[in-house]
A = this chain, B = another copy of it.
């Protein structure tokens, strides 16, 4: 079934991570699976989700959930957050992380080894504000 031999252990997981890093924006599990179709790094959907979970556990990947329910994944070194409309679902990226490096105090950390955070803002976009007025 495989034409080329696996180069190195964890090769597929490495490829998945690089795919995410190369992408211009966040991708869903389904996106990743679809993008790798018909490439030498194609992998099953189960494998995509397996690796995404492991990468999250290693602190290399983070995900956020859209109001629609789909999860979008991004590499954690890309410290990006969003403003999302609770009505139409439109989301726009923030120019910078509003926490500007403020980390938790040791007391707040409670022994945890911090890996990453998610920070998302929600509101009404200009169009949906209008629609609710009129």
A109 and B83: CB pair below 8 A?
A: yes
B-contacting residues of A (Cβ < 8 Å)? 56-57, 59, 62, 65, 67, 71, 83, 85-87, 92, 94-95, 98-99, 102, 104, 108-126, 129
A114 to B71 CA separation, bound complex (whole angstroms): 22
B104 and A124: CB pair below 8 A?
A: no
A126 and B99: CB pair below 8 A?
A: no
B108 and A129: CB pair below 8 A?
A: no
B117 and A121: CB pair below 8 A?
A: yes
> A87 — which chain B residues lie within 8 A by C-beta?
57
B108 and A115: CB pair below 8 A?
A: no
> A86 — which chain B residues lie within 8 A by C-beta?
56-57, 59, 115
